[in-house]
Amino acid sequence: MTIATAGAERRAKIVSAWSFDVFDTFLLRACATPDGVFERTYELSGISRICPNVSASFVQHRIQAESRARRTAREKRGSGEVHIGEIYSFFPFRLFGLARSDLNDLVESEFAAELELCRANPDMLRQYLDMKRAGHCVGFISDTYWDSGRLARLLRACHPGLTWDFLYASCDHGSSKSETLFATYLSEQGVDAGSSFHVGDNEKADIRGAKRHGIRPRYYPQATAQLASRFQREGALFELLCASAPSRLDHGARTLRRMVAARSAEKSPAIRLGLTVLGPVMAAFDAFIARRCAEVSGPGRKVALGFLGRDGFLPHRIWQELHDTRSAYLEINRRVSLIASADTIQPLVNLLSKVLKIDAPTFQDMMKMMPPKVALFFAGFPDGITTGEALAEALSELIDPAEIVELAAGLRARLLAYLRHAIPGFDDCTDLVLADLGYSGSVQKALRRIFDIEGLGIRVHGAYLMSLDDAFDDIAEDDSAAGFISDLVVTPHVKRMLIRNVALLEQICCSADGSVRDYDGDRVLREINPRPASQIALAGEIQSGALAFAGSAGKVAREFRLSPYATPDIAARWCAATLARLLLLPDEDELALLGGLKHDVNLGTHALAPMLDGDFIRRQITARGLSAACTSAAPPMWLAGSFALMSPSHAYLYTLFGANRLPADVFEESPGGSVQVGLFRGDGEAALESVTVHRTGLGELRIRIPVSRAMGIAMIALPLPKFAAEGLLHGVTIQTADDIRDAAESQDVIGVAADSLVYAGIERRGDHYRAESEDGCLLIPVAPMAEDIAIYSVAITPLGASLK
């Protein structure tokens, strides 16, 4: 930390004393918060053997015991400062199979946990020693339940031979820094407050407390407010998504992130995102890839490592940054590999069935052929565009299998020529490790078929950031596949939620090039890249931040004696929580930074799909309900981010749904009565129809009004005062189909323009309305209908009297 003074000589003249806070300033822990010490105490004390799998209960009881001890001390002594023994005197010993005589053992176990987890902060240590060498009075002032004797043992354990001129522990003096501890220090040490400094991380105790006594404070925050908030969200997601695992000890992963960020100059939001979020994920993934390579290595084996383009571009850059071992960047995608692996029509059917929309020029570009029957097939659809599923079903009748075999053989030969150029000594390799973001190993399986057709005995091993593990049972016996974030780390429900939102990660990790479509010798032939230059530049900035983290993390980890990747399962869980926090619970800054990204579908079309669409989610919830909105198909590609645009609470509800923790009977709607609506025909005739008013778990009301084309309805009159005389109108939506069931389930939800609604006898300001009389109505114009059924849905949050 830089001290803002006029220089070393001036500082030496005016400073008489330097005091340092201990925890989270001079000492840092290899856990993000103090409750990590309590979780380690649970393990070291042996309680984990007596009462297994209850670490969360132990930690919470330890926290509650401290609260009760401080409250009792405040009532009896006027100050909440307590010793560690007083804290454990309020602990529920019997619950954990202990007796009160075990109090000292618990104290010693917690102190052993502190000794294990605490490290001297190199930045503070350098400053401390500089001040001491300069002849200043130097020491420590700490708000702590550890007495000065134990505090001294801890400091010297973290830095043997450390000396000081004074050491104050608040529990020894019955007063904190926010109370009179600073005054005691000044009086006993005979220090001039005006020529003294105090360095600490706590705004209230260290900064305001020092200022109150005339001491000049130097603020050393343990994390920015933004990073601390992200850590808090990550911790919540860890407990939700990895519920069976202890959630507080991460071998220093978050401490490492904090210190790398603290040592980096303030840069753009994109670089900071890469530095503090994406970089830690990719560094952990890199360690996993290294382990995978080691696992498949052995006597007589020659292992090659390849990163699959385009999503593997950033992991490849990080590998090049951190390792001397050579790796290849392989531009192979699902389309190319599946076509090249085809010796029957089935791989092509599998590929096309996943294409949303496709036309004849795109098919010809993909297949390098246009049989007459295929051309006629496309001509039979409006604008020559059909679904991939329809084309896949008809394909066996449209193409001669011999044409497929010939097409695949040519592409296969070009692909193998490219591999021989990209991977030196390719034909001598015994094993090829493919690193990629994931997910079901389709490229790996296609390469296996290609190698088998060509008589190549190279074993293929997948190393994936995320894996759909039930897709790996059919891989060849000698091959292997493993995901860093596997179904042993998070549940299959959670995995599919993450992958539903992974398009964001793909775009950030992606290369600046278009996707491969073919090869010409050692040259890659690529599709056009439809992504805007601004998006490519933003991804490059984020990647720069990730590379900066990867490049400095090793050195910082060694300085602080941190081993964040030493235990693979713990590293994987925290990587999952970090990634899930970005994908599922983004903050406002991330939404602003990333919300404009587009996803290039790059399979059957060159179209760009939006990442975010908050209005889409609002319409889905209005028309179909919360759970149905959570299952919406893409686009938008970043569904969780679209929920977050509505509110962080909506994003968390989506996360709960994806984790299978959102009970339908709590959050879904239930009937709450009925109301009669007026249906007015174009010829002036009118009828009353009774419709159900539903109440959702969030306290909103839903009214769904079906009309048929045969009814000729021109206007719907909804008597708001009958069930919600005052409220917020969130919108009116329309779903259409040829029968009422299909209409109700349709994801194609159209919003009725707010300015087309008529408020009769109702005062309206923005979304807020208030009925001026009992006869007030919301008039909804009915649009001309192209299909037989339309369902008009209205969403309201009642603010006054409502239907019972």
Q: Quick one: pLDDT at residue 606?
A: 62
**C-alpha distances in Å from residue 172, one per residue of 83, 149, 150:** 8, 10, 11
Burial status of residue 149 (CB atoms within 10 A of its CB: 0-12, 13-18, 19 or more): exposed
Tokens of 70: 């401080």
Rounded mean pLDDT of 377-406? Answer: 85
Rounded mean pLDDT of 787-801? Answer: 91
DSSP for residue 276: I
- With both helix axes pointing from N to C terminus, report the angle between 313-322 and 279-296 in degrees, rounded to the nearest 10: 70
The length of the chain, given as a count of residues: 804
pLDDT over 50 at 3, yes or no: no
- Mean pLDDT in the chain? 92
pLDDT over 60 at 804, yes or no: no
pLDDT over 90 at 706, yes or no: yes
pLDDT over 70 at 621, yes or no: yes
**C-alpha distances in Å from residue 595, one per residue of 79, 99, 576, 799:** 49, 56, 22, 32
pLDDT over 70 at 325, yes or no: yes
Q: Quick one: pLDDT at residue 244?
A: 73
Q: Phi, psi at residue 608, to the nearest 5°?
A: -105, 130
pLDDT over 90 at 373, yes or no: no
- The strand pairing partners of 675, in sequence order, are 691
Please give the biggest Cα pair distance in the chain: 98
The secondary structure element, H or E, covering residue 484 is: strand 480-485
Distance CA 564, CA 285 (A): 12
pLDDT tens digits, one per residue of 524-533? 999 888 899 9
pLDDT over 80 at 339, yes or no: yes
pLDDT tens digits, one per residue of 170-213? 999 999 999 999 999 999 999 899 999 999 999 999 999 999 99
Q: Quick one: pLDDT at residue 787?
A: 95
**C-alpha distances in Å from residue 134, one per residue of 14, 16, 127, 130, 155:** 12, 10, 11, 6, 21
pLDDT over 50 at 7, yes or no: no
pLDDT over 50 at 723, yes or no: yes
Q: Quick one: pLDDT at residue 247?
A: 77
Domain 8-26+121-219, what fold?
A: Rossmann fold (3.40.50)
Distance CA 473, CA 778 (A): 57
pLDDT tens digits, one per residue of 240-283? 998 777 778 999 999 999 999 988 876 799 999 999 999 999 99
Residue type, 792: Y
pLDDT tens digits, one per residue of 446-479? 999 999 999 999 999 999 999 999 999 999 999 9
Q: Tokens 């919540």 correspond to what residue?
A: 236
pLDDT tens digits, one per residue of 23-54? 999 999 999 889 999 999 999 999 999 999 99
- Residue 705, classed as helix, strand or coil, is strand
- Report whether 627 contacts 648 (CB < 8 A): no
Pick 8 or 39 by higher pLDDT.
39
Rounded mean pLDDT of 371-378? Answer: 86
pLDDT tens digits, one per residue of 114-160? 999 999 999 999 999 999 999 999 999 999 999 999 999 999 999 99
Which CB contacts under 8 angstroms, 24+ apart, belong to 105-112? 105/45, 106/41, 106/45, 109/41, 109/44, 109/45, 109/46, 110/37, 110/38, 110/41, 110/84, 111/84, 111/146, 111/150, 111/154, 112/41, 112/44
Burial status of residue 609 (CB atoms within 10 A of its CB: 0-12, 13-18, 19 or more): middle
Lowest mean per-residue pLDDT among 358-367, 526-535, 694-703, 706-715 = 358-367
Does 661 sit behind a cis peptide bond, omega within 30 degrees of 0 on the bond before it? no
Phi-psi group of 398: left, alpha or beta (phi > 0 → left; psi -120 to 50 → alpha; rest → beta): alpha
Residue 197, Cα to own-chain centre: how many angstroms? Answer: 40
Please name which of 152, 224, 149, 212 lies closest in space to residue 176, comparing C-alpha atoms: 212
User: Nearest-5° angle of CA 574, CA 578, CA 583?
Assistant: 140
Q: Quick one: pLDDT at residue 483?
A: 97
- Report whether 613 contacts 636 (CB < 8 A): yes
Distance CA 521, CA 536 (A): 27
Tokens of 208: 């305001």
Which CB contacts under 8 angstroms, 24+ apart, belong to 292-300? 292/433, 292/435, 292/461, 292/463, 292/482, 293/325, 293/433, 293/463, 296/431, 296/433, 296/459, 296/461, 296/480, 297/431, 300/430
pLDDT tens digits, one per residue of 423-432? 999 999 999 9
Q: How confident is the model at residue 378 (pLDDT cuts 50, 70, 90)?
A: confident
Distance CA 423, CA 315 (A): 17
Please name which of 551, 536, 652 lies closest in space to residue 286, comparing C-alpha atoms: 551
Q: What is the CA radius of gyration of the chain?
A: 32
- Residue 468, classed as helix, strand or coil, is coil
pLDDT over 50 at 4, yes or no: no
Tokens of 530: 């439809």
Q: What percent of the chain has pLDDT over 90?
A: 79
Q: Quick one: pLDDT at residue 801?
A: 54
Distance CA 199, CA 20 (A): 5
Please name which of 241, 688, 302 lies closest in space to residue 491, comparing C-alpha atoms: 241
Tokens of 432: 């090829």
Distance CA 140, CA 206 (A): 12
DSSP for residue 104: H
Contact partners, residue 620, CB within 8 Å, separation at least 6? 628, 629, 632, 747, 749
Distance CA 541, CA 511 (A): 12
Lowest mean per-residue pLDDT among 111-125, 560-574, 601-615 = 601-615
Rounded mean pLDDT of 413-434? Answer: 96
- The strand pairing partners of 139, in sequence order, are 19, 166
The secondary structure element, H or E, covering residue 692 is: strand 686-695
pLDDT over 50 at 714, yes or no: yes
The structure's pTM equals 0.90
Residue type, 2: T
